[in-house]
Amino acid sequence: MKEEYNFRKGEILLVDKPLGWTSFDVVNKLRYPLKRKYGIKRLKVGHAGTLDPLASGLLVICTGRKTKEINTFINDTKIYTGIIKLGATTPSYDLETEIDATYPVEHITSELIEEIRLQFLGEIEQTPPIYSAKKVNGKRAYESARKGIDIKLKPSTIFIHDLSLELKKNHNIHFSIKSSKGTYIRSLAYDIGKALNSGGHLTKLRRETSGEFKIEDALSVDAWQNIIQETRVGDMNL
């Protein structure tokens, strides 16, 4: 870790986002103490790639002039690990919503999973979940979905560099994926379940890397708040 920080000039904060928090929750938890400590009304703070509330792991936070690099970081490839539960689907493709359909799983084998895995490597088309922040007719898709409004989202092109799938107990697939910007892991879970003719939904997700940044170097929100508190006011000078 660095010994001195100049958050106003610009810093990159690697945060281990906890479950249940939105990415903006993390931003606000860091922006507020910075503004309060140094008596400033405005300070640019942003994140370089959203993590869903039900996901944990690496969130890259930029402050000050470093926010100009956010678009570059967003475009970086990312690595995730997690679990896909086979045999059932949910409207949100994860645990945000209740199971809406169940499917047989007796035919699932490691050999079949390996065959399916190969179909998801390289450039593929993927449709985002309707429970997502994608805009349809000027509204966030999840806003319409939660009201029961039927909406259609257009597929987008993504690139999967690497994908491992391992069948575990209770028809859970443990996975690791390295993918391009714009990949919805929830959609991947759904699509894999569909390809296996068993249905599937995401039950666990953790971001391990984002470009050159790694979760091993990340700190908790509390730890960053303590660093902010201990940083000298003089360190904020431009």
- Active-site residue (options: 16, 25, 52, 150): 52
DSSP line for 205-226? EEEEEETTEEGGG-B-HHHHHH
CA separation for the pair 98, 95 (Å, rounded): 7
- The Cα–Cα gap between 26 and 131 comes to 21
Calculate ∠ Cα 108-90-27, nearest 5°.
Answer: 115
Active-site residue, 52 included: yes
In Å, how far are 83, 166, 169, 189, 208 from 174, measured between CA atoms? 5, 5, 10, 11, 14
Both tokens of 26, joined, read 């993390």
On whether the CB atoms of residues 46 and 61 are closer than 8 A, the answer is yes
Q: How many helices (H) and strands (E) does the chain have?
A: 6, 13
CA distances from 223 to 29, 51, 218, 229 (A): 12, 19, 10, 10
- The strand pair at 56-63 and 45-47 is best described as antiparallel
Catalytic residues: 52
